[in-house]
Structure 1
């Protein structure tokens, strides 16, 4: 009579690490997965920039040309004509800084739009991502990094041209203002990338909004130079609330949150008030785009 032989069972306790009963692969948290996805997508954008560095080079050369050419154009203006600025180069530095960051953030939606048209975005949307907002976060990190690099170049060039140096506290304030502006405008640009039908329409929006917002702000001239109606427009322009605090920091070493940075037609605007306006602009932009992105991702 045959006898059934049972093979010996392996000692599972010996195969598990530390002799425990835990699973072989450690469970990852949603936060760590989100950070990993965001890091991978951000690295992809920097690889694209490395392969096509023309965008970065142009983004660094253009503000330097603005500073040199416009500074030379108005170098013979009477002293004191542009407020407390020592020269027009010092007056222009804040405007070039803010407008460069604004232009870069406004272009943030173009890579997403091209991914959408070429079909790569559809692959990301069907991938098992923990959160599809990692796509948005990667673009925001990429644009913010470029804006910080451009701002550093403008600050160095402005100091070389005689605009001075705002100090450590002033640099921290400048970085905070640029960050608030870039986050808000990047969110709007990414929302447009999902709302508009193609890149032609997005580029048209960028061209239509770029120059009007520049000339309807205090980037190139103070409010006192403008007609009354344009003073109201410039006082409602978010760019002015980023330009004037930076300009004040360059001209006043003893600045504070209660310092008056802009004499608007409706009243004086303090440093703290300008920061609150920028923060409110960012919150409104993020909340407005969030619902649009949620519908697009769905």
Structure 2
């Protein structure tokens, strides 16, 4: 059963064969990741656009609400400080949501068919390479944004850097799997771009990226309370604003109740598990 799920040929395993398969899988993932890096070097405009867009949001919205009474929003000392976690999540959200576009173009140009018929140890190396590449780019972009915020605000949550990075990493992996699944299901890049445009801004505005839950009408609070972005943003905001948070500290308060830091990790892990099942199903259907 495990072999069928991972697309590994049914063979009698020994320690030597196990390490050989693992080494081949890593080699495949490395080669596919390197290919994505080369593509980005040749077309750096997409990388720069993914960086400048969140910065524009930060500058424009920060200026728009700079005179608003900050005590209405949170314990932040400025609206820009309040907005920063939302911009960080929006950065990884946008990058991961576009992760399926290279695979879609590979399908349209025929390269994906070559990958399917190639003697790969596991077709999951295609997904793993995309996930690693997008996660690395997203974390580098968020690191740069945090550095800029440090210059502007003069503060940075050193004690929470690892937890913020891990939360953003889990969200990036989940959205990458969703985007790649969509690229395998939809017929072409026009439909994929339409899907991205349809869910991009609505998910952003139906979250706590720009305003807290208390500013929303009840119907929007209900939507925001089931939006994974809200849980990620509020968790990053708590980690960004407070120190010495433990696993049982409350980080998200929705209309459904209060979530601790541990619960948010569980929710993101569950989301990743469900989307991993979806992407395995999509790959198997595409191969058939």
The question of a shared fold, defined as TM-score above 0.5 by the shorter chain, is answered with: yes
Aligned residue pair count: 272
- Measure the CA separation in 2 of the matches of 1:253 and 1:29: 45
Q: Is the 8 A contact 2:51 2:91 kept in 1?
A: no
Q: 3-state DSSP class of the match of 2:70?
A: coil
The equivalent of 2:181 in structure 1 is 191
Does the residue aligned with 1:80 lie in a helix, a strand or coil?
helix
- Looking at structure 2, the residues matched to 129 and 267 of structure 1 have their Cα atoms a distance apart, in angstroms, of 46
Larger Rg: 1
Alpha-carbon separation, structure 2, partners of 1:249 and 1:132: 37
C-alpha spacing 1:163/1:113, structure 2 compared with 1 (3 Å): farther
Are 2:142 and 1:166 aligned? no
- Is contact 1:109-1:193 (8 Å) kept? yes
Q: 1:274 to 1:163 in 2, by over 3 A?
A: farther
Asked whether the equivalents of residues 241 and 278 of structure 1 are also in contact (C-alpha less than 8 Å), the reply is: no
Residue in structure 2 matched with residue 117 of structure 1 by the alignment:
108
Decide which of 213, 219, 231 is 1:223's aligned counterpart. 213
Counterpart for residue 78 of structure 1: 69
SS in 2 for 1:268: strand
Within 5 Å, give how 1:5-16 maps onto structure 2: none
Q: Check conservation: 2:29, 2:129, Cα contact below 8 A.
A: yes
Q: Cα offset for 1:252?
A: 1.1
Q: State the Cα distance separating 1:163 from its structure 2 match.
A: 6.7
1:50-129 aligned within 5 A: 50-129=41-120
Residues 163 and 196 of structure 1: CA distance in aligned 2, closer, same or farther (over 3 Å)? farther
**How far does residue 210 in structure 1 lie from its aligned partner after superposition?**
0.3
Could you give the per-residue CA deviations for residues 42-71 of structure 1, whole angstroms, max 9, x where no partner exists?
101100111111111111211122112211
Please name the residue that 1:259 is paired with. Answer: 249
Post-superposition CA distance 1:115-164 (Å, at most 9, x none) = 00001111111112121221111111111111111110111122222172
Note the residue ranges of structure 2 that are not aligned, 5 or more in a row. Answer: 1-15
1:209 equivalent in alignment to 2:172? no
Shift >6 Å, 4+ stretches: none
Say if 2:50 and 2:94, in contact at 8 Å, map to a contact too: no
Selected match of 1:175 from 158, 165, 172: 165
Say if 1:79 and 1:87, in contact at 8 Å, map to a contact too: yes
The correspondence for 2:279, drawn from 262, 279, 289, is 289
| 8 A Cα contact 1:177 1:242, kept in partner | yes
Give the Cα–Cα distance (whole angstroms) in 1 for the partners of residues 22 and 101 of structure 2. Answer: 27
**1:243 aligns to what?**
233
Cα distance in 1 for residues equivalent to 2:131 and 2:244: 33
TM-score w.r.t. structure 2 length? 0.91
Taking the aligned partners of 2:175 and 2:54, their CA distance within structure 1 comes to 19
Q: Which runs of 5+ in 1 are unaligned?
A: 1-25
Matched, 1:149 2:134: no
Deviation at residue 288 of structure 1 after TM alignment: 2.0
Q: Which has the higher helix share?
A: 2
What residue in structure 2 maps to residue 42 of structure 1? 33
Tell me the secondary structure at the aligned position of residue 161 of structure 1.
helix
283-292 or 103-112, which deviates more: 283-292
SS at match of 2:140: helix
TM-superposition CA deviations, 1:203-241 (whole Å, max 9, x none): 000000001100110001000000111111101100011
Name 1:140's counterpart in structure 2: 131
| Secondary structure class of the residue paired with 1:131 | coil
Tell whether the 8 Å contact from 1:95 to 1:220 is kept in structure 2 after alignment: yes
